[in-house]
Every structure is written in C-alpha cells, then in structure tokens.
Amino acid sequence: MRPLSIGVAGLGNVAQGVLALLRENGALIAARAGRPIAVAVVASRRAKDVDLLGADFTTDVGSLVKRNDVDVVVELMGGEDAALSLVESALDAGKPVVTANKAILAAHGDRLFELAARGEVAMGIEASVAGGIPVIAALTRSLVANDIDRVVGIINGTCNFILTGMSSRGERFDAALAQAQELGYAEADPHFDVGGVDAAHKLAILAALAFGVPFSRDAVYTEGITEVTPEDIAYARELGYCIKQLGIARRTPAGIETRVHPTLVPLDNMLASASGVMNAVELHGNATGSVLLHGPGAGGRATASAVLADLVSIARGERPVAYTPAATVPARVAMTDVVTAAYLRIPAIDQPGVFARIATILSEHGISIEGAIQRERAIADRKVPIVVLTQPVPEGEMNRALDALAALPAVVGPIRRIRVEHLDG
C-alpha cells in the first residue's frame, strides 16, 4: 500500500526521536499500520548531522503545506507564532496535523479544533501532554463512555525530580534544582517548569478534553514549587502525606476547577509512588472509577512514540483525537471558591496558649483541625513551627483566616499553606 508521507517541521529531540524510531521500528510500524510511514521532507532553521532517512531538507517550513507529497504535517518546532501559523495553514489546506505543541493548544486549541472539524481534517495531539503516557487516548478513546469528574496528574517531570530529591535526600529546593540542571532535567531558566507554567499548559488541554470546556491556559490557577522546603516534606510525611506538584482539573457542582500547585497526597495513593522524572495521571470517571497512567512524561523517544501513534491512526484512516465541546459549557470555579483541605506551617513564638489562639481563629472561620504537630521546646520564647492539617474549606475563607493568623503577635514569619488532595474513590 502507498506509504503515508509526512513532512516534519523541527529537528530537535522529538523530531530526531521520530526519525530514529522509523529507522529502528519502521517495518513493525508498517505491519501494524497496514502501510509504511515515509518522511518526505524535514524543515528546520538549520541542518543537523542527523539521518533524515532520505527525506529532503529545507529551511522553508511553510513549504510543507504546499508540497503534494506531504500527506501529514508533523509540527515539532515548539515555540508559538511560527508553529501556530504552520498548523493553521495546514488545517486550512485540508492537511492532517500531528503536533506536540502544548503552548499553542493551551492558548488556541478551540480555534485549531474548529478548523480541523470544519475541514474534517485529523489533528493528533497525543504528544502534547505527558510524552509517552497515552493520556489523550485514554481520555478521548478508552474512557470515552465515562463522565469524567477528575483529572489529577504529575505532569511536569522537572518538578517531580526536584521534589523527589528533596524528599529522599532532605535537600533544599536550590540544591535539588541544581542537580536537575546538571542532569539535563531542568533548563538554565527553570521558571517555565518550576513555576508551574508548563503544567498549566498541559492541564488546560486535559481539562478541555475531559470536560469540553474551552482551551484556556489563563483559567488555570498556577503556583510553583520554589517555596516548598524539606521541613514541609518531613512534616507532611509525619502526617501520612508526600508533597507532589499536581495539575488538578475537577468537576464540582459549582463548575470546573483547574489548578496547578504543590499538594499533599496520601502516601498510600499511587501518585505518591511516582518518583523522579516520571509523570503520572489519574483519570476518574463514573464507569471506571480511578485509572492511573504512569511513565516517561518527556524525552525525545517517548514523545516521538506518541507522535507516531497519531500517525499510525491517521495511516489507518482514523481521526486520532476527538475534542467534543460540551453542549452547555460548565462554569469555571474561581480560586477563592475552591474547597480544599490545607497544611499550614505557622512560625510562632513558643508561648503558652499560642496553639489555642491559632485554633480559635481557625474555628472562627469555620475551619476544623484534622491533625497537628507541635513540639514543645526546652527553651521558652523560641520560634517554633506549628503545623496544622485542616479539614476542607473554601479558599476565600482560608485566605481570611490566614490574614487573621498573620496578625497574631506570636506569629513571627510568613505562614506556609499547601493544599491537600485526598483523591478518594
């Protein structure tokens, strides 16, 4: 049968992974797809010393759309403007697209899927979230019969590597980040990862697919891991939790929550076992309950595996992903209305009655205490952290309680609040 002929934009890690896998596994892929996948052309700003499998090379990315021998445009350039313009022009021209670009999907997914739907053109986006873990296929295909109420994931490997290092070796954030940078798991400018931006892009995509809400990275509340300390991790463990950077998309009666922040996760939850650079995503639906996927969330070959899965789907004549906008788009829940339990670390002067005053203020704001750690010191009037685990409470109420706590004379430093997810049922 005629090969599926692709044009690849970009020649970075993922594109090189696609070429390497076609070289190594091409015959196997052809047998499974029913036809070979052939690379007609690779477009990139500059050539690299890479085996292009006989494909043409060009610096003119726009030429991919015009070539008759390109059946599918594979956008692996990264960045936003040029990639967006390539994907749009390909879909406009009726050419299927496979893209790994979470940034353009998180910001412009609605328009792109509308273009694809209008032209009945396939758009594959498996590679855009969690690399080699098939979370897009799970949401849009395998769990298609589920009303999904929760998608919760460790979707940034850099953060998970850093938090794992802090947890296993008691390191501070800066030391763990430095090690991640040394091993190539973090960029020189790490903000995109440790600030939660990358995870927010991915979560915007997952929320759109799970709930049919518009793609919106701006709707995702985003908090990074830079303030997490080894002390927080140790206290959390004492309370039966670990600290993970989670992306959380949840449907509640009030609407859809989307948030990225450090989170206390019960130690016996599967997400707690995902360590190092691994990613893990839990999908929770009304047919299956909880299904968890764990694996490599980044890396050239793992992400290329996802790109090729979409290409095989297209080679079989399928539309690899189905974004189905909800008939009635549910409301978004404002962060102040989100209800979560919280871990509080309150730096206080060790005086009689301090804990009682803290408990009173929490109680006045309708916040019950689930657990606490308070160690008496031999020397009075020393600074001592009081750690409190609360029951679930709306964020706005907690914010007011935190303001009141901060105003206590015995509270002598910024209060650290980390949200808790129990992930039941």
| Residues involved in catalysis | 202
Rounded CA-CA distance 194/157 in Å is 10
Indicate the pairing of strand 383-390 with strand 339-349: antiparallel
Pick the stretch among 43-51, 52-60, 72-80, 145-153 that binds a second copy (CB under 8 A).
Answer: 145-153
- What lies within 8 Å, CB to CB, of 49 at 6+ separation is none
> Which is nearer to a second copy, 287 or 380 (by Cβ)?
287
> Which is nearer to a second copy, 312 or 420 (by Cβ)?
312
How many Cα atoms sit within 13 Å of 60 on the Cβ side? Answer: 7
**Residue 5 engages a second copy in binding (rule: CB under 8 A):** no
**Residue 169 engages a second copy in binding (rule: CB under 8 A):** no
Nearest to 314 by CA among 5, 69, 1: 5
Minimum distance, C-beta of residue 127 to a second copy, in the bound complex (Å): 11
Rounded CA-CA distance 352/66 in Å is 77
For 265-320, give the DSSP string.
EETTSGGGG--TTEEEEEEEETTTEEEEEEEE---HHHHHHHHHHHHHHHHTT---
For residue 312, the tally of other CB atoms under 10 A from its CB is 20
> Which is nearer to a second copy, 140 or 390 (by Cβ)?
140
**Residue 243 engages a second copy in binding (rule: CB under 8 A):** no
**Residue 35 engages a second copy in binding (rule: CB under 8 A):** no
Q: In this structure, are residues 200 and 219 in contact, taking their beta carbons and an 8 Å threshold?
A: no
Pick the stretch among 64-72, 99-107, 144-152, 370-378 that binds a second copy (CB under 8 A).
Answer: 144-152
**Residue 391 engages a second copy in binding (rule: CB under 8 A):** no
**Residue 126 engages a second copy in binding (rule: CB under 8 A):** yes
**Residue 23 engages a second copy in binding (rule: CB under 8 A):** no
Integer distance in angstroms from the first to the last C-alpha of the chain? 48
Nearest to 231 by CA among 310, 191, 172, 143: 172
**Residue 219 engages a second copy in binding (rule: CB under 8 A):** no
Q: Which of 305, 340, 348, 405 binds a second copy (CB under 8 A)?
A: 305
**Residue 89 engages a second copy in binding (rule: CB under 8 A):** no
**Residue 313 engages a second copy in binding (rule: CB under 8 A):** yes
Q: Which of 274, 410, 420, 423 binds a second copy (CB under 8 A)?
A: 274
**Residue 122 engages a second copy in binding (rule: CB under 8 A):** no
**Residue 50 engages a second copy in binding (rule: CB under 8 A):** no
**Residue 289 engages a second copy in binding (rule: CB under 8 A):** yes
The enclosing H or E element of 194 equals helix 191-194
> Which is nearer to a second copy, 26 or 396 (by Cβ)?
26
> Which is nearer to a second copy, 59 or 324 (by Cβ)?
324
- What lies within 8 Å, CB to CB, of 19 at 6+ separation is 8, 39, 42, 50, 51, 52, 53
Q: Which of 52, 144, 178, 234 binds a second copy (CB under 8 A)?
A: 144
**Residue 183 engages a second copy in binding (rule: CB under 8 A):** no
Q: In this structure, are residues 318 and 8 in contact, taking their beta carbons and an 8 Å threshold?
A: no
Minimum distance, C-beta of residue 322 to a second copy, in the bound complex (Å): 6
DSSP category for residue 332: B
- What lies within 8 Å, CB to CB, of 398 at 6+ separation is 342, 365, 367, 390, 417
Q: What is each CA distance from 171 to 191, 192, 238, 378, in whole angstroms?
A: 19, 21, 17, 27
**Residue 292 engages a second copy in binding (rule: CB under 8 A):** yes
Q: Which of 47, 183, 322, 412 binds a second copy (CB under 8 A)?
A: 322
**Residue 29 engages a second copy in binding (rule: CB under 8 A):** yes
**Residue 285 engages a second copy in binding (rule: CB under 8 A):** yes
**Residue 143 engages a second copy in binding (rule: CB under 8 A):** yes
Q: In this structure, are residues 245 and 196 in contact, taking their beta carbons and an 8 Å threshold?
A: yes
- Site for a second copy (CB under 8 A): how many residues? 57
**Residue 73 engages a second copy in binding (rule: CB under 8 A):** no
**Residue 306 engages a second copy in binding (rule: CB under 8 A):** yes
Q: Which of 97, 133, 180, 348 binds a second copy (CB under 8 A)?
A: 133
Q: In this structure, are residues 213 and 110 in contact, taking their beta carbons and an 8 Å threshold?
A: no
Rounded CA-CA distance 17/23 in Å is 10
Minimum distance, C-beta of residue 98 to a second copy, in the bound complex (Å): 12
Minimum distance, C-beta of residue 30 to a second copy, in the bound complex (Å): 10
Q: In this structure, are residues 274 and 243 in contact, taking their beta carbons and an 8 Å threshold?
A: no
What sign for the dihedral angle of Cα 54, 56, 59, 65? negative
Contacts to a second copy by CB under 8 A = 17, 21, 24-25, 28-29, 31-33, 126, 131-134, 137-138, 140-147, 268, 270, 272-275, 285-296, 301-302, 304-306, 308-309, 312-313, 316, 318-319, 322, 324, 327
